[in-house]
Structure 1
Amino acid sequence: MGRLFGTDGVRGLANVDVTAELALDLSVAAAHVLGDAGAFAGHRPRAVVGRDPRASGEFLSAAVVAGLASAGVDVQDVGVLPTPGIAHLVTATGADLGVVLSASHNPVPDNGIKFFARGGHKLPDEVEDAIEARLREPWQRPTGAAVGRVRPDGSGAQRYVEHLVASAPHRLDGLRVVVDCAHGAAWWVGPEALRRAGADVTVLGAEPDGLNTNDGVGSTHPGPLREAVLAAGADAGVAFDGDADRCLAVDARGELVDGDQVMGVLALALKERGALAGDVLVATVMSNLGLILAMREAGVRVVQTAVGDRYVLEAMREGGYSLGGEQSGHVVMLDHQTTGDGVLTALHLLARVAELGRPLAEVASVVRRLPQVLVNVPDVDKARASSHEGVRAAVAQAEAELGTTGRVLLRPSGTEPLVRVMVEASAADQAQAVADRLAAVVAAELAL
Structure 2
Amino acid sequence: MTSMTVTAGPFAGQKPGTSGLRKKTAQFRAPHYLECFVQAIFEAIDAPGKVLVLGGDGRFFGREAAAVILRMAAANGVARVILGQGGLLSTPAASHLIRLNGADGGIILSASHNPGGETGDFGVKYNIANGGPAPEAVTAAIHAASETLTGYRISDAPAPDLDRLGETLLDGMVVQVVDPVLDYAELMERLFDFPAIARMIAGGFTLRFDAMCAVTGPYAVEILERRLGAAPGSVVNAVPLPDFGGMHPDPNPTWASDLYERMMSPEGPDFGAASDGDGDRNMVLGRGIYVTPSDSLAVLAAHAHLAPGYSGGIKGIARSMPTSTAADRVAEALGIEAHETPTGWKFFGTLLDAGRATICGEESFGTGSDHVREKDGLWAVLLWLNILAATGQGVDALLAAHWRRFGRVFYSRHDYEALPVAQAEAVMAELRGQLDSLPGRSAGGLRIVAADDFAYADPVDGSVTTGQGLRVLFEGGARFVLRLSGTGTEGATLRLYLEWPCNDPDQFETETRTMLAPVIAAAEALAGIARHTGRTEPDVIT
Give the TM-score normalised by the residue count of structure 2.
0.71
Contact residue 239 and residue 248 of structure 1 kept, 8 A: yes
Query: Are positions 1:325 and 2:361 aligned together?
Result: yes
Residue number among 420, 424, 447 corresponding to 2:500 in the alignment: 424
Contact residue 289 and residue 424 of structure 1 kept, 8 A: no
Which digits, 9 at most, give the CA deviation of each residue in 1:92-138, with x for residues without a partner?
12222211111110111101001122231222211122122223346
Q: 2:320, 2:442 → 1: CA distance?
A: 20
The DSSP-based 3-state class of the residue aligned with 1:23 is helix
Q: How many pairs does the alignment contain?
A: 437
Please state how far the C-alpha of 1:264 moved relative to its aligned partner.
1.6
> Aligned ranges for residues 23-422 of structure 1 at < 5 Å?
23-35=34-46, 44-73=49-78, 74-78=80-84, 79-108=87-116, 109-135=120-146, 136-137=149-150, 147-149=171-173, 151=175, 153-169=177-193, 171-173=196-198, 174-175=200-201, 176-201=206-231, 202-212=234-244, 215=247, 219-220=251-252, 221-229=255-263, 230=265, 233-253=268-288, 255-270=289-304, 275-278=312-315, 280-293=316-329, 295-297=331-333, 299-317=335-353, 320-334=356-370, 336-365=371-400, 366-367=402-403, 368-372=408-412, 374=414, 378=424, 380=426, 382-383=428-429, 385-386=431-432, 388=434, 389-394=436-441, 398-399=447-448, 403-404=475-476, 406-413=477-484, 416=492, 420=496, 422=498
Contact residue 28 and residue 34 of structure 2 kept, 8 A: no
Deviates more, 1:305-314 or 1:289-298: 289-298
Residue of structure 1 in register with 2:27 after alignment:
16
Which digits, 9 at most, give the CA deviation of each residue in 1:154-205, with x for residues without a partner?
4232222112222214531223221111111111112212235524140111
Q: 1:342, 1:112 → 2: CA distance?
A: 19
Which digits, 9 at most, give the CA deviation of each residue in 1:363-419, with x for residues without a partner?
233143415475879563634634524544446853469643x41234242575968
Please state how far the C-alpha of 1:322 moved relative to its aligned partner.
1.0
Report the structure, 1 or 2, having the larger strand content: 2
Q: 1:189, 1:235 → 2: CA distance?
A: 21
Contact residue 385 and residue 419 of structure 1 kept, 8 A: no
- Which amino acid in structure 2 is aligned with residue 58 of structure 1? R
The structure-2 alpha-carbon separation of the partners of 1:177 and 1:148, relative to structure 1 and needing over 3 Å to count, comes to farther
Contact residue 375 and residue 422 of structure 1 kept, 8 A: no
Contact residue 259 and residue 327 of structure 1 kept, 8 A: yes
Which digits, 9 at most, give the CA deviation of each residue in 1:10-69, with x for residues without a partner?
111112257562332233332233227xxx6xxx43222111121121222222222212
- Which amino acid in structure 2 is aligned with residue 313 of structure 1? G
The DSSP-based 3-state class of the residue aligned with 2:520 is helix
The structure-2 alpha-carbon separation of the partners of 1:31 and 1:382, relative to structure 1 and needing over 3 Å to count, comes to same
The DSSP-based 3-state class of the residue aligned with 2:393 is coil
Please state how far the C-alpha of 1:224 moved relative to its aligned partner.
1.8
Please state how far the C-alpha of 1:357 moved relative to its aligned partner.
1.2
Please state how far the C-alpha of 1:228 moved relative to its aligned partner.
4.5
The DSSP-based 3-state class of the residue aligned with 2:137 is helix
Q: 1:379, 1:218 → 2: CA distance?
A: 25
Contact residue 12 and residue 18 of structure 1 kept, 8 A: no
The DSSP-based 3-state class of the residue aligned with 1:113 is strand
Deviates more, 1:204-213 or 1:266-275: 266-275
The structure-2 alpha-carbon separation of the partners of 1:64 and 1:259, relative to structure 1 and needing over 3 Å to count, comes to same
The structure-2 alpha-carbon separation of the partners of 1:425 and 1:259, relative to structure 1 and needing over 3 Å to count, comes to closer
Q: Gaps (5+ residues) in structure 1?
A: none
The DSSP-based 3-state class of the residue aligned with 1:6 is coil
Contact residue 318 and residue 338 of structure 2 kept, 8 A: yes
Residue of structure 1 in register with 2:467 after alignment:
none
The structure-2 alpha-carbon separation of the partners of 1:398 and 1:162, relative to structure 1 and needing over 3 Å to count, comes to same
Q: 1:213, 1:447 → 2: CA distance?
A: 35
Contact residue 382 and residue 417 of structure 1 kept, 8 A: no
Contact residue 317 and residue 339 of structure 2 kept, 8 A: yes
Q: 2:17, 2:193 → 1: CA distance?
A: 35
Q: Gaps (5+ residues) in structure 2?
A: 1-11, 158-168, 417-422, 450-472, 487-491, 503-509, 534-542
- Which amino acid in structure 1 is aligned with residue 256 of structure 2? P
Contact residue 25 and residue 67 of structure 1 kept, 8 A: no
Please state how far the C-alpha of 1:289 moved relative to its aligned partner.
3.8
* Overall identity of the aligned pairs, in %: 20
What is the alpha-carbon root mean square deviation over aligned residues? Answer: 3.5
The DSSP-based 3-state class of the residue aligned with 1:363 is helix
Report the structure, 1 or 2, having the larger helix content: 1
Please state how far the C-alpha of 1:424 moved relative to its aligned partner.
2.5
- Which amino acid in structure 2 is aligned with residue 13 of structure 1? K
Please state how far the C-alpha of 1:90 moved relative to its aligned partner.
1.5
The structure-2 alpha-carbon separation of the partners of 1:164 and 1:213, relative to structure 1 and needing over 3 Å to count, comes to farther
Please state how far the C-alpha of 1:2 moved relative to its aligned partner.
5.6
Give the TM-score normalised by the residue count of structure 1.
0.84
